[in-house]
Chains A and B, each alone.
Chain A
Amino acid sequence: DTGVSQDPRHKITKRGQNVTFRCDPISEHNRLYWYRQTLGQGPEFLTYFQNEAQLEKSRLLSDRFSAERPKGSFSTLEIQRTEQGDSAMYLCASSKRQGAETQYFGPGTRLLVL
Chain B
Amino acid sequence: KNEVEQSPQNLTAQEGEFITINCSYSVGISALHWLQQHPGGGIVSLFMLSSGKKKHGRLIATINIQEKHSSLHITASHPRDSAVYICAAPRGAQKLVFGQGTRLTINP
Contact = CB atoms under 8 A, between A and B. Distances in A.
A89 B41 contact: yes
Nearest to A34: B95
A98 interface: yes
A33 B48 CA distance: 17
Provide the main secondary structure of the chain B interface: strand
Interface residues of B, number: 27
A100 B98 contact: no
B33 A110 contact: no
A106 B41 CA distance: 9
Interface size class of A (residues with CB under 8 A): 20 to 34
Interface of B: 4, 29-31, 33, 35, 40-45, 48, 50, 86, 88, 90-91, 93-101
